[in-house]
Amino acid sequence: MKVEGREYRSIWLAADGRRVEIIDQTRLPHEFRTVCLATLADGARAIRDMLVRGAPLIGATAAYGFCLGLHEGTADRDIDRIGSTLTACRPTAVNLRWAVEQMRSLLLALPAQDRLAAAYLEAARICDEDVRDNEAIGTHGLEIIRKTWEQKGKKSPVQVLTHCNAGWLATVDWGTALAPVYKAHEAGIPIHVWVDETRPRNQGAGLTAWELAAQGIDHHLIVDNAGGHLMQHGRVDLCIVGTDRTTAGGDVCNKIGTYLKALAARDNKVPFYVALPGSTIDWGIENGRLEIPIEERAPEEVLRVHGKTADGAITWVSIAPAATPAVNPAFDVTPARLVTGLITERGVCTANRAGLLTLYPERRDR
Ligand code: MRU
């Protein structure tokens, strides 16, 4: 996507062909700053401290983190160490584990002297595949938006509500939940997006609103608690969100607060779609509520907000009494029964094993 007229991905190889560049998402929307990662520790820190975030981008960063780690050694034990360092960074997004496994199995099958070059090729392949998959999600999701527009008699913009940031910044490019929105905008379908601010880290306010403004897409920022009210008053046609892990049974784990939107959508007969690439499906589990580890983040993220002051400083401010205890689960699970459909790179399916297997038949006998 373009930033001030220049085409960007969210991660790319530096000009020296060795280091890796990313956009520091902790500075957005106030400052557009890129950061160069030179070591495995840099890659791990970028994932842990959320300079990069979003399941597909975490996976891509892990793939390049592997390349950076191999400069410190290419023996089997180095591969194991790199893999466990990266996997430990964030527990919920399954793309992290998926990318580490892709790299591990490819590299362990090669002689040590061939591993470094092969790792860079594989990381680039994972990134290119993510871009292709997300664009395909956009194309499939566009048809849902087009149908909604036709059902409205093409009289008023399609109103989409989204949660967190599942735009191009959460992936290598295009995004998952926002890819259909970008495609609809390109196709000339009038569209308006309700952007949940998404406490505690405000990825909606800082990232989704920034992305949509940069692409000239009509949107309004709302507080997390406004979605139900807007749905009750017929002001939301569709919800589209992303996911950090989807089970083989169709349960969807996404940013905390997604479940409440799905409940409100069901009560108000608003279709609730989840957009995801195949790399986000965890085929090994069925029940998301019982089986997905939910990342618990620091209480400080709840007790403070991050923003820009009138004198231009980018800082944290406290919003609660100093001694207030807080808990901070970062994700929740929306049960499959509340999900209208899963929008994948291979098409749209029902949120259950049978639906997923129609699109991924190669998983049938595993
Ligand atoms: O904690 P984050 O910002 O990495 O979480 C990302 C999300 O939960 C997003 O909502 C997104 O849908 C999943 S990645 C496309």
Taking residue 216's Cβ as centre, other Cβ atoms within 10 Å add up to 7
Task: Check whether residue 339 and residue 276 sit in a common domain.
Answer: yes
pLDDT of amino acid 5? 87
Residue nearest to atom 6 of ligand 1 (CA): 54
- The reply to whether ligand 1 has any atom less than 6 angstroms from the CB of 162 is no
- The reply to whether ligand 1 has any atom less than 6 angstroms from the CB of 203 is yes
**Phi/psi of residue 55, each to 5°?**
-55, -50
Task: Check whether residue 117 and residue 165 sit in a common domain.
Answer: no
CATH for 53: 1.20.120.420
Per residue in 253-310, pLDDT (tens digit) is 999 999 999 999 999 999 999 999 999 999 999 999 999 999 999 999 999 999 999 9
* Residue 166 contacts residue 55 (beta carbons within 8 Å): no
Among residues 244, 251, 282, 332, which one is catalytic?
244
Residue 196 is part of which domain span?
A: 137-363
Closest CA to 342 of 260, 263, 254, 269: 254
Question: Given phi > 0 = left and psi -120 to 50 = alpha, else beta, which region is 270?
Answer: beta
- The reply to whether ligand 1 has any atom less than 6 angstroms from the CB of 254 is yes
State in Å: Cα 53 to ligand 1 middle: 7
Task: Check whether residue 216 and residue 242 sit in a common domain.
Answer: yes
CATH for 286: 3.40.50.10470
- The reply to whether ligand 1 has any atom less than 6 angstroms from the CB of 164 is yes
Task: Check whether residue 36 and residue 124 sit in a common domain.
Answer: yes
The rounded Cα 271 to chain-centroid distance in angstroms is 20
Q: Is 244 a catalytic residue?
A: yes
Regions in the chain scoring below 70 on pLDDT: 366
pLDDT of amino acid 89? 97
Q: Is 270 exposed, middle or buried (0-12, 13-18, 19+ CB in 10 A)?
A: buried
Task: Check whether residue 273 and residue 156 sit in a common domain.
Answer: yes
Task: Check whether residue 161 and residue 124 sit in a common domain.
Answer: no
State in Å: Cα 35 to ligand 1 middle: 21
* Residue 61 contacts residue 46 (beta carbons within 8 Å): yes
Per residue in 47-84, pLDDT (tens digit) is 999 999 999 999 999 999 999 999 999 999 999 999 99
Task: Check whether residue 160 and residue 119 sit in a common domain.
Answer: no
Residue 293 CB-half CA count within 13 A = 11
Task: Check whether residue 7 and residue 85 sit in a common domain.
Answer: yes
Of 105, 128, 151, which one is at a domain's C-terminal end? 128
pLDDT of amino acid 4? 87
- The reply to whether ligand 1 has any atom less than 6 angstroms from the CB of 257 is no
Task: Check whether residue 142 and residue 224 sit in a common domain.
Answer: yes
State in Å: Cα 337 to ligand 1 middle: 21
**Phi/psi of residue 314, each to 5°?**
-100, 115
- Distance, in Å, from the CA atom of 214 to the CA atom of 216, rounded to the nearest integer, reads 6
Of 84, 106, 128, which one is at a domain's C-terminal end? 128
State in Å: Cα 95 to ligand 1 middle: 11
- The reply to whether ligand 1 has any atom less than 6 angstroms from the CB of 211 is no
Task: Check whether residue 123 and residue 221 sit in a common domain.
Answer: no
Residue nearest to atom 14 of ligand 1 (CA): 54
pTM of the model as a whole: 0.97
Domain count, the chain: 2
State in Å: Cα 241 to ligand 1 middle: 9
Of 94, 128, 162, which one is at a domain's C-terminal end? 128
Query: In whole angstroms, how far apart are CA 282 and each of 99, 296, 353, 360?
Result: 13, 20, 11, 12
Task: Check whether residue 120 and residue 161 sit in a common domain.
Answer: no
Task: Check whether residue 101 and residue 156 sit in a common domain.
Answer: no
